[in-house]
Structure 1
């Protein structure tokens, strides 16, 4: 594909970054399972010298990721946290980061347990009102970290509003786009400097790969990320890159079904007597539904809900009764998953901090898969009865 911008999303998902193998004409990108490459003379090679630095299978995936996010430069990492690690490594001791108070527990953990001891300061604030960001900015603020929709409270943050604030103060804005994927949301188009993905989730889509990715349009940022990727070595292997390239080809089809099933599940839960609150940005009474409608192309398949019997024991009772929804970490696969954030994905966040953002002990998070919706509703009915 010579000009990705001339194609719509589904076409890019299938073709971007992928060309027939020049050696054999193979349609699928080969798995270049090699560590090193022959050189005709010292420093003279065909663009590849060592697979930590470059690998043709990874290159194809990175170009695909960049195209999907309407970006120029893509970088893949061994995990989503590896991608986050690379972004924070662009900072220096004394720098400050403003992040949402409601975010993935792994992000909170790497911020507070790994990077704070190196002199980087993190502020966690309510970003549902984007004006709150401005009040926290100091001369040391170098990065604004946005996650939207947030995990697991489904808070919507105004990316375009955050970008205007960031640009006015010459601050880098990075958006974790894992829940939405490029199919539903494109942060770079809204003014973000970097978009981050846990590729493990929807992009790979089949619960068989752990990977992360970053995309940017900034040449300066790309140079830093490329150096960090090479120097730190948190790269994915070619087999995993091959699997993600395969997964990407059906991303648009899967996300369409995730959205359809998600809407049906959310509406069912809202009518269920045992359920207290349902958190899903597609509801018109969601606090920032208007922002979600403006910056997203759909509302996704992630839903959280709390029970009227607001105890951990009540949540566990429901989770144990599911038959199709599997109790497991992670999200975004073709199969439906359920989880208990307070004791699983967000256990690393202190209870007092969880409660500040409304993450109660009865909160259950659903990753609605692509099964037949009638069967999923039957499973929900019997588990909540």
Structure 2
């Protein structure tokens, strides 16, 4: 039986309705054909698309200055839709050597298992990347600002290299977001987001997004995502849309506080180093200024003296701050790469990246700056005294 029709109304809701239906009924086989063939707009089975996902995709498309993006069930699903949806056995992929931990695992373990070869290189060194290119290289994958040491990729140099070599240039824009940087304006072919993070912004959504400049590539990624069941939850999409309405305000506020926190941490005894792109002592400050201008974003990383012992004391003493492997929440969160995102690396591999047991990544939230700085002062002093 058909559901009862909705009551008619001359007004309309100011909030997008939640559409949890798994299936959508059509009038006739001809009408269903017309939907599948793109002659009319409609929905059939939610794995193949639903209204709430389309609302989020169109909002992100507008932010990135593009069209045709797809929303997936997580950020890693978006990465997988790009890499696995476009490449085949025998292809070679170059990745940044400081990608998100699960992206690194994909590069180091899963792609080789599926018959693809990979290389990991410093994305700030275009010549080093060029040296890894071979006839089978089909894709280069980087993050604008890396996780977790906040190193900056030479996006313009890599875009030029990819254009010259006929290689797809894929940019994960999760840390920087379209508010801080728009990769398509600088030569990217494909852009990826973990909507889970700052875009949705409340730690209650898990979604990803991928979009290509070439609509044929979008179609290829979409088909793969549908086939492999990377379907986003309508409820998560509905929540994400709500979060995205306040995104720009949250981004600006957290970025301002992050810059204050970075300078404050740099003045505390017991802090060995602070990493924030707009600080003059950041190793990639020149490149960061060229690409991001004054947008340092909301992430700050720092290293404590005292190793794991100090790290344990610090997280216990950081009253009110969640120690959790996430970022982009309305509250400030602390992440310890050695025990979370990069725990799959050996100690030698982590140390090569500068990820000691005293290294933390901070995702700055919306708290008032003064009490937030006081919490860090107390926790650092107690951990390193």
TM over 0.5: same fold? yes
Please name the residue that 2:78 is paired with: 83
**Equivalence for 1:247:** 243
Deviates more, 1:121-130 or 1:159-168: 121-130
* Matched position secondary structure for 1:34: coil
Alpha-carbon distance between aligned partners in 2 of 1:54 and 1:22, rounded to the nearest angstrom: 26
Whether the aligned pair in 2 keeps the contact of 1:324 and 1:376 (CA below 8 Å) is no
How far apart are 1:339 and its partner, in Å?
Answer: 1.6
Determine the structure 2 residue equivalent to 1:67. Answer: 62
User: What is the aligned counterpart of 1:25 among 12, 27, 34?
Assistant: 12
Cross-structure match for 2:363: 367
CA displacement at 1:354 relative to structure 2? 1.4
Q: Is the 8 A contact 2:111 2:118 kept in 1?
A: no
Map of 1:303 onto structure 2:
300
Separation of aligned partners in 2, 1:173 and 1:43? 41
Within a 5 Å distance, the mapping from 1:162-181 to structure 2 comes to 162-181=158-177
Q: How well do the aligned residues superpose, as a CA RMSD in angstroms?
A: 1.5
For 1:131-154, what per-residue CA distance to the aligned partner results, in whole angstroms no more than 9, with x for missing partners? 221111000101101112100111
SS in 2 for 1:258: helix
1:345 aligns with 2:341: yes
CA distance in 2, matches of 1:157, 1:43: 51
Partner of 1:202: 198
Q: Is the 8 A contact 1:57 1:241 kept in 2?
A: yes
- The alpha-carbon deviation at position 50 of structure 1 amounts to 1.1
The answer for the alignment partner of 1:111 in structure 2 is: 107
Structure 1 residues 22, 294: closer, same or farther in 2, change over 3 A?
farther
**Structure 1 residues without counterparts, runs of 5 or longer:** 1-20
Residue 272 of structure 1 is matched in structure 2 by 268
Deviates more, 1:337-346 or 1:349-358: 349-358
| 2:132 aligned partner | 136
Instruction: Provide runs of 4+ in structure 1 moved above 6 Å.
Output: none
Moved more, 228-237 or 288-297: 288-297
Please report how far the alpha carbon of residue 350 of structure 1 lies from its aligned counterpart in structure 2 after TM superposition: 2.3
Structure 2: distance between partners of 1:130 and 1:370 = 36
Contact 2:334–2:360 at 8 Å: present in 1 too?
yes
User: Secondary structure, in 3 states, of the residue corresponding to 2:48?
Assistant: coil
**What are the Cα deviations for residues 38-61 of structure 1, in whole angstroms up to 9, with x where unaligned?**
212115154211111110111111
| Aligned residue runs from structure 1 range 33-52, under 5 A | 33-45=20-32, 46-52=41-47
Question: Per-residue CA shift, 1:180-221, capped at 9, x if unaligned?
Answer: 111111111111011111111000100101111112221121
For residues 224-235 of structure 1, the aligned pairs below 5 Å read: 224-235=220-231
Residue 24 of structure 1: how far off its partner (Å): 5.6
- What SS does the aligned partner of 2:47 have? coil
- 1:218 — aligned with what? 214
For residues 126 and 302 of structure 2, the distance between their equivalents in structure 1, rounded to whole angstroms, comes to 24
Q: Deviations over 1:234-272 (max 9, x none)?
A: 111111101001111111000001110000000001111
Report how many aligned residue pairs link the two structures.
Answer: 364
The Cα of 1:99 is off from its aligned counterpart by 0.7
Q: Does structure 2 conserve the Cα–Cα contact (< 8 Å) formed by 1:166 and 1:173?
A: yes
Is the alpha carbon distance of 1:380 and 1:225 closer, same or farther for their aligned partners in structure 2, counting shifts above 3 Å? Answer: same
2: distance between equivalents of 1:34 and 1:220?
29
The runs of 5 or more residues in structure 2 that have no matched partner are: 1-7, 33-40
SS in 2 for 1:342: helix
**Contact 1:108/1:349 (8 A) holds in 2:** no
Report the counterpart of residue 36 of structure 2 in structure 1.
none
Tell me which of 289, 310, 313 is aligned to 1:314.
310
> Which residue does the alignment assign to 2:4?
none
TM-score by length of 1: 0.92
3-state SS in 2 of match to 1:76: strand
